[in-house]
A and B are shown apart, each in its own frame.
Chain A
Amino acid sequence: MISAIRTVLAATALTLGVTHAFAAEVQVAVAANFTAPMQKIAAEFERDTGHKARLAFGATGKFYAQIRNGAPFEVFLSADDTTPAKLEEEGATVAGSRFTYAIGRLALWSAQAGVVDDKGEVLRRGAFAHLAVANPKTAPYGAAAQEVMHRLGVAEALAAKLVTGENIAQTHQFVASGNAELGFVALSQVWADGRLTGGSAWLVPAGLHAPLRQDAVILAPGRDKPAARALAEYLRGAKATAIIKSYGYGQ
């Protein structure tokens, strides 16, 4: 009896030890627009693999500077495809690990119902004081918004009404707090389970701006980390893909 208990205890200890040896942490830098889906994916990832993804959210340009200066991120989910490519050129990534995890969609959004029509005509009427956009110099969604306004021929007329968020998260905050009546945000910020979470929006046709291809890459510090590889793998899996789509991203 006692020996049986001992065997069970030993087996349990062994199993726990083994699980522990395999379960690891992975440090992930995530573009601000991908915050909500990534939180969901990270939770599923932890449940399915036992690995824990530690997430940092922010602007892609800031992450680039931090990574170049030795930040210990192991996986980088960028808001564009140029920044990961640049890091790859500079030898800061694991070769061949770069892939597109999502294609971003832009939305013209107001926290209030009935402000934004479903064709974006509100931009031409211009009956508002502030239009929030992400900084076009540093945020891909901001650059896309600028492109859309140029295509529609309203860029000059609206220039004086622009308020610029440091990244897409802050841009969303300007609109959500009502300080800007409307703004260009990432669809994923106002979209869940296939519909708008509130307010009114125009889903900007993808043809009006260059594709918002968002690439992920394993960074040099993640080279020999199974958890980093597992996360990159997981992002391409069916479960993650479904979550990504439910937030309005294309793939």
Chain B
Amino acid sequence: MMSTADLAAIRLTLELAAVTTAILLVIGTPVAWWLARTRSAWKGVVGAVVALPLVLPPTVIGFYLLLLMGPHGPVGQLTQALGIGLLPFSFAGLVVGSVFYSLPFVVQPLQQAFEAIGERPLEVAATLRAGALDTFFSVVLPLARPGFVTAAVLGFAHTVGEFGVVLMIGGNIPEKTRVVSVQIYDHVEALEYAQAHWLSAGMVVFSFVVLFLLYSRKRGGVR
């Protein structure tokens, strides 16, 4: 069965995924909106940066974050100057890593949803003298709702499955940075295969259920 350490790892993982998803929805929405509407030459650059975590090995992300957020890295010097201290080996550090790691899983569905809305509803709103913010909250948000659901679910699930980034910057501290995937790795290394199975099977079931619900959702919403 699961030990208290396993349960602590599960709780920590869910917390991390929840915080990461919330942050990603807040910062991902304007980025996705800009990407969906812009004609700027920077669109390709920003789009590529957003998609980088799709192709980069998580260890690469983790390795550079470890250096960037360390005492000699620019981010580390900034956080120290701000009195926050250093981010590696902390929950905050994992959140930063996860936000980058799961970025495309939130931004891309949002961007697609925004693109699917098209020009017409915005023009109609403009003729009715709706301001930009009013248009966004009264027209765009309701129309893009399915996109937000997809973005939130994928962002959350992808963060739950994170391993390489946490391994590199986490330090495997119980109840602080030891998430489920690292706990599984520890079990396997210590030849505790029964415990590894409990957690691993749980991850498989969780991932399947989440994706099943997502993909069997009635299509539509974005017209």
A residues with CB within 8 A of B: 59, 61-62, 64-65, 129-130, 132, 135, 137-138, 162-166, 170, 173-174, 177-180
Contacts and interface: CB of A to CB of B under 8 A. Distances in A.
Given A178-B71, A179-B86, A166 B173 contact: no
Interface of B: 66-67, 69-72, 85-86, 88-89, 167-168, 171-173, 185-186, 188-191
A137 B171 contact: no
B189 A61 contact: yes
A162 B71 contact: no
Contacts of A64: 191
B86 to A, nearest CB: 6
Chain B contact surface mostly: loop
Given A135-B172, A163-B171, A65 B89 contact: no
Given A177-B70, A179-B88, A65 B173 contact: no
A129 B76 CA distance: 15
A62 B190 CA distance: 8
B66 A177 contact: yes
A120 B150 CA distance: 54
B189 A164 contact: no
B186 A135 contact: yes
A59 B189 contact: yes
Contact of B72 (A65, A163, A174, A178): A178
B97 to A, nearest CB: 13
Question: Among A132, A173, A174, which residue has the most Cβ atoms of chain B within 10 A?
Answer: A174
Given A61-B191, A164-B173, A166-B189, 6 more contacts: A65-B189, A129-B86, A137-B190, A138-B189, A178-B70, A178-B72
Contact of B173 (A129, A137, A163, A170): A163
A135 B72 CA distance: 25
B12 to A, nearest CB: 15
A178 B89 CA distance: 12
4 closest A-B pairs by beta carbon, nearest first, are A163-B171, A61-B189, A164-B172, A138-B189
With most chain B CB atoms within 10 A of its CB, the pick from A64, A132, A164 is: A164
B171 A174 contact: yes
A179 B70 contact: yes
Nearest to B89: A163
A162 B189 contact: no
Nearest to A86: B191
A163 B174 CA distance: 10
Contacts of B167: 166, 170
Contacts of B70: 177-179
A8 to B, nearest CB: 51
Nearest to B173: A163
